[in-house]
Amino acid sequence: MVFAPNGQPIAVPQVSPVELAEQAIAEMSLSAPDIQLSPSANSPRGATIGFPVWMWTARREATTGPVTRTATAGPISVTATATLARIDWSMGDETTTRCSNPGTPFTDDQAGKPSPTCGHVYERLVAGGVAEINATSRWEISWSGGGQSAFRTLNLTSSARLALREVRTLNTGGPR
């Protein structure tokens, strides 16, 4: 409620398009990747050196987009759209895998095969036998309205741990 003296115009607070853009972006509730791995991070055996690991994020609007929101104040409306550009996976073995999409969920019929979109193969054990994985989603956000427009990026990171193991065999030639 606004009070104004009789005959005086009501002063309406002005909100800038930039402030409305920030409001629209905040309403998107963008999330860091919801890390999914095969073998699972919860697996008691973990990943085996030399075998493929599949990586992907659970598919929800907040993790894979695109997401569009509009914020309005008085006569001004600003619309912002966020698009997932990529996910960078720091695999805990001094390597990074860049995936240009959310990845492909693993299914049992793909056992032993590399992921067609986002995967990694560990070549050696890491200290402590557990890889510390960080997945960073890069969001590209554009907005326009109120006679203005802009572009920005937003990086969001989540983490997981994956046990690693090495399987060794010894061939003694056996009986002849």
Query: What pLDDT does residue 3 have?
Result: 62
138 exposure class (CB count in 10 Å sphere: 0-12, 13-18, 19+): middle
Structure confidence at residue 96 (pLDDT): 97
Q: Determine the pLDDT at residue 48.
A: 92
Sort 118 into a burial class: Cβ within 10 Å, 0-12 / 13-18 / 19+: buried
State the Cα torsion 87-93-94-97 to the nearest 10°: -20
pLDDT of 145 = 95
Structure confidence at residue 2 (pLDDT): 55
Residue 13: per-residue pLDDT: 59
Integer Cα distance of 162 and 129 in angstroms: 9
Can you give the pLDDT at residue 45? 83
- E-state strands within 75-127: 76-90, 96-99, 119-121
**C-alpha distance across the termini of the chain, in Å:** 96
User: What pLDDT score does 41 carry?
Assistant: 86
* C-alpha distance from residue 141 to each of 60, 104, 149 (Å): 17, 24, 11
Residue ranges, the chain, pLDDT below 50: none
Is residue 46 within 8 A of residue 161, CB to CB? The reply is: no
Q: Specify the pLDDT at position 10.
A: 65
